[in-house]
Every structure is written in structure tokens, then in C-alpha cells.
Amino acid sequence: MGYTVFYLSAIVIVPLSMIFFNTIPMGWEPFLNAVTAPRVLASYRLSFSTAFFAAVVDAFAGLLTAWVLVRYRFPGKGVLDALVDLPFALPTAVAGICFATLYSPIGWFGQILARWNLQIINTPTGIVIALIFIGFPFVVRTIQPVLEEMELEIEEAAQCLGATRWQTFRKILLPHLFPALLTGVTLAFARGIGEYGSVIFIAGNLPMKTEIAPLMIMSKLDQFDYAGASAVALVLLCISFSMLLLLNAVQEWQQKEYRS
């Protein structure tokens, strides 16, 4: 316990509290002005909504991938398994550049999409795509161990009792996987809010349209507006933290019933 508290303080709480202390000298009025500027508000909205959509897509894609990795044997499975972690290892800027190239009007996907007048780059959709990539491993890696430890017998029991595959999934598997899924999605979501490197290359960073909150902080820093930057960061931190706290509470409530 003491060790955990010390560790958390040293590597999480103390550095983060610097944001707080940097903001205090600013005073209330300039703080409010800084964080309620239309550009900043728009960036919050964008960051949270894109991170949310990306996390939802990751929930489905990650569940499916984890399923395939656990339940099926096929050649190249090891390679696929390793590929899942790639977004963790790759510098996010590299991912961003890859996406920007792929979806640019002359890129492979961009060319095809341009035929239907669809544009990905410089739009929120582009941001979502980048965040899906970044958040994906979180979902897969949290669900995988739960799926692995789940006995096949449980599914077989449901089948013998007359349940269809869908009923088995809906009534047995999903409730079982739900806590892990929620954790994975939360992690992906949290990561999506803070993601910077991969997004700025594909987003185009148009003020009011595709400027994400971390970028707002960076641009304030570029203008040597340290107090403003930490004000924006503080709000971002508070919202993220309360959302994580809320999700944790939901999980706790979910779990409580089944424990003896």
C-alpha cells in the first residue's frame, strides 16, 4: 500500500500537480477566458467526440480480433498476434504520416474515396481513423486473457440447452466479457483524448474544425503562453479523470453482484 502510494505520487500525481500549480498564478478571470475561448471549446468537443467514436469502433473490432486470436488456429497467427501490438511500439508520428499518405487525394485510399467526393484527410473522420488505430491494441489485449480463461464448456452448455449462437453471445458471453471490454474501451478512449502525434498529420489542424485539444496546448506553448497551456491542460485533465472515475464506478457496480 505505502509502496503504491509512493509510486503513484512520484510518477503520476506530482508531475500532474505541476499543471495545477502552473495555472494558479494566472488568476480566475484569465483562466476562464483561456479555457472558454471558442477555439478551445471546439477543440475539446472534437477531442472527446472523436475519441469516443474511435473507442466504440475499437470495441467491435477488438472483440472480433481477440475472438479470432483465441478461438481459431491458423497459419500466421503468431504474426497477427504480434501485429496487434504494433500501435504501441510505433512512434505515433509515423502512424500519422502513414495515414496522411494513404488518405491524401493522391494516396491509395484517398484516390478511391475521391471518386465519391469523400474526403478523409483534414476532417474529423480522419482523426477517428487515426484514433481507432491507436486504441485498438488496448481492447484486444484486455479481452484476450478473459476469453482465454473462459471454458468452452460454458458455450457448449448453452448450446445443449437450446440457445442459438446469437443467444449464447448475447446472454452468456457478452455479460462475461463486459467488464474487460469496458476496461479496454476506457483505455482506448483515454488514449484517444491524449493522442497527439498521429492525429496532427491527418487532421489538417484547421481552427474550429479539426484542431484537437492537445494541439491547442502545443500551439499555446509555441507562443510561450505557458499559463494558458496549462489552463487548457488542467480542464482536459479534469474531464478525463472524472470520466475514468465514472467508468470505474460503473465497473465496480457491475462486478459487485457476482462476488461472494
The yes or no reply on residue 158 touching other proteins (CB under 8 A) is: yes
Instruction: By CB under 8 A, name the one of 102, 124, 169, 176 that touches other proteins.
Output: 176
Q: What is the number of residues in the chain?
A: 260
103: left (phi over 0), alpha (psi -120 to 50) or beta: alpha
Shortest gap between Cβ of 49 and other proteins (angstroms)? 32
User: Which 25-54 positions form the footprint of other proteins (CB under 8 A)?
Assistant: none
Instruction: By CB under 8 A, name the one of 175, 206, 207, 250 that touches other proteins.
Output: 175
Alpha-carbon distances of 156 from 43, 68, 89, 160, rounded to whole Å: 49, 18, 38, 6
- H or E element, residue 68: helix 38-71
Instruction: By CB under 8 A, name the one of 163, 237, 243, 247 that touches other proteins.
Output: 163
Instruction: By CB under 8 A, name the one of 162, 223, 224, 253 that touches other proteins.
Output: 162
Per-residue binding string, other proteins, 107-146, x by CB under 8 A, is ----------------------------------------
Instruction: CB nearer to other proteins: give 115 or 256.
Output: 256
Instruction: By CB under 8 A, name the one of 8, 68, 94, 154 that touches other proteins.
Output: 154
The yes or no reply on residue 259 touching other proteins (CB under 8 A) is: yes
The yes or no reply on residue 91 touching other proteins (CB under 8 A) is: no
CA separation for the pair 65, 84 (Å, rounded): 9
Task: For 46-57, give one letter per residue: b (16+ CB within 10 A) or e.
Answer: bbbebbbbbbeb
Burial (CB count within 10 angstroms: exposed 0-12, middle 13-18, buried 19+), residue 257: exposed
The yes or no reply on residue 256 touching other proteins (CB under 8 A) is: no
Instruction: CB nearer to other proteins: give 43 or 183.
Output: 183
Burial (CB count within 10 angstroms: exposed 0-12, middle 13-18, buried 19+), residue 147: middle
- Residues found near other proteins in the complex (CB under 8 A): 151, 153-154, 156-164, 167, 171-172, 175-176, 257-260
